[in-house]
Structure 1
Amino acid sequence: NKVNGVGSVVYSTKENELKDLIKDFGKNMGLSDQNNPLRAAYYVKALDPQDTIKVAERIDRLDNTYSVEYGEGKIEKLFSFLNGARNVGLVLIGALLFTAMFLISNTIRITILARSREIEIMKLVGATNWFVRIPFVLEGMWIGILGAILPITLVTLLYYNLYTVVQPYLEGELFNLLPLTPFLFQVNGLILLMGIFIGIWGSFMSVRKFLRV
């Protein structure tokens, strides 16, 4: 039977289950000296981790299913914590984006005011608005790139140390930290793109608002 929401299924024989149990608890348990009391198992991974409970319930309704284990009670708390952390993170990201755009806009505004005489002369000799705007947009882009260096450095150092300290304790567990690569490259690339976007957008909006010569 096909169960919706399943990403992958791995079959494990009862012999493999016994080997894993002996590996975890040691040979001193005497498990290898008796008949194998275990059952074969299927390790199922949901396409979306948030659907783990629903997938487990669907599997439990199948015929010939002896028992379904998915960390009941713990996984609900984990997803609740992750959802709360995600919402808090989104609020913080929004606040940081607003702050960054505000600072960049003010920086560009000061630059425009300092060069207002030059801009006025450029307009008088026929320079278009875009010709005047482009240097400020490029300046905003560079400000965004330079501003992204600090968070990229902090994220790299923090996650590297977290991975080095925590990951050894998570080996063999249900949840593991993402590998350093390509995760750090993806996150740092996203931060860099966000810095460039914020710099260009902030400078563009500032020029659009204050370039009236």
Structure 2
Amino acid sequence: MKGRTISRHFRESFKSLGRNGWMTFASIGAVTVTLILVGVFALIMTNLNKMADDIENDVEIKVLIDDLAGSKDERELQAKIKKLPEVAEMRYSSRDEELKKVIKDYGDDFTLHEQSNPLRNAIYVKATNPQETANLAKKIDKYEFTAEVNYGKDKVKKLFNVLNAGRNAGVVLIIGLLLTAVFLIFNTIRITIIARRDEIEIMKLVGATNSFVRIPFLLEGAWLGLLGSIIPVTVVAVLYSSVHKNISPNLKGELVQLVSYSPLIYQVAALLIGLGVIIGMCGSFMSVRKFLKI
């Protein structure tokens, strides 16, 4: 394709935006509103998934060591646990450290036990895959000198079920929203093209090839998608910046944290721009094709 032809296609696509002012405005408006919803929901779901991961990763197994175990036995037990492929992290806590935690959590009344500490030495273990916590706990429980293995069996199972259900619901909702976005943008651009069917038919009757007719409309669809994504990207960036600045300081030291502003906001921006341009071009392509069959 000659450079002159390409430049003509670009000029025509820009002129069409101006000539069809109200239809252009309607198309950009539909893209803008839809992509704002997609962007906000994408930020919400990303943060909910991050919080779910944070909660899962905080689940750990507490292995209470038998009082009959000597120092050598404890070291051997730790070595066995550490060798397990499912183990991501392991740390030892003496009975004195355990008592200090109890006093910190429940008050100074428990300082009475400092003279005769009733607690056991413990090993805290985290699984590489939090969903495998139960299976890992069963393996450890079979080792010698493990007096008790605790991980909140029923509570952890319910927690994982709730988190998995939340993730699945989120996936369904985001897919539904994306399909809705495609439908709305596609149909709005389709209406824009249909309103200009006479223009397409005249071009075909005077001998224009399909590609000559189609390319300006494809470019126009891309401009509509691009222009319609500018406001959503700006809104999402400003909104998340404000939320992050106001909420993140209050979550310092807490279990759950918000996803960092960067690179998340750039990823969402790329998603919105890509969706707008691709759906705009696809909408134009499918709509023009119908009128090229003369």
Q: TM-score range by the shorter chain?
A: 0.7 to 0.9
Given the alignment, which residue of 161, 176, 180 partners 1:99?
A: 180
The answer as to 2:228 corresponding to 1:143 is: yes
**Is structure 2 residue 279 aligned with structure 1 residue 194?**
no
CA positional deviation for 1:76: 0.7
Which residue is 2:146 aligned to? 65
Residue 124 (structure 1) aligned with residue 208 (structure 2): yes
Q: Deviations over 1:20-78 (max 9, x none)?
A: 11111222323454222222222211112211111211221222222111112111111
Identity %: 34
After superposition, what is the alpha-carbon deviation per residue over 1:78-122, rounded to whole angstroms, capped at 9, x for unaligned? 111111112211111111001111111123223334555389659
Listed as ranges, the gaps of 5+ residues in structure 2 are 1-79
Aligned partner of 1:134 in structure 2 is 219
How far apart, CA to CA, are the structure 2 residues paired with 1:68 and 1:154? 45
Alignment of 1:1-213 (within 5 A): 1=80, 2-31=83-112, 33-114=114-195, 117=199, 124=208, 127=212, 129-130=214-215, 132-147=217-232, 167=251, 171=254, 176-178=255-257, 180-182=258-260, 184-185=261-262, 187-212=264-289, 213=292
8 Å contact kept, 1:97–1:198: no
CA distance in 2, matches of 1:87, 1:186: 24
TM-score by length of 1: 0.76
The structure with the largest alpha-carbon Rg is: 2
Local SS of the residue matching 1:67: strand
Secondary structure (helix, strand or coil) at the match of 1:107 reads: helix
Q: 1:119 to 1:104 in 2, by over 3 A?
A: farther
Matched position secondary structure for 2:126: strand
Query: What SS does structure 1 have at the residue aligned with 2:173?
Result: helix
Unaligned 5+ residue runs, structure 1? none
Q: Over the residues paired in the alignment, what is the CA RMSD in angstroms? A: 3.4
Partner of 2:53: none
Q: Which moved more, 1:136-145 or 1:53-62?
A: 136-145
Relative contact order higher in (CA < 8 Å, ≥ 6 apart)? 2
Task: Give 3-state SS (helix, strand or coil) of 1:37's partner.
Answer: coil
* Change beyond 3 A, Cα 1:3–1:146: same
Tell me if structure 2 keeps the 8 A contact 1:101–1:201.
no
Change over 3 Å in CA distance of 1:96–1:158 after alignment to 2: farther
Counterpart-to-counterpart distance in 1, 2:131 and 2:263: 23
* Partners of 1:108 and 1:140 within 8 A in 2: no
Match of 2:45 in 1: none
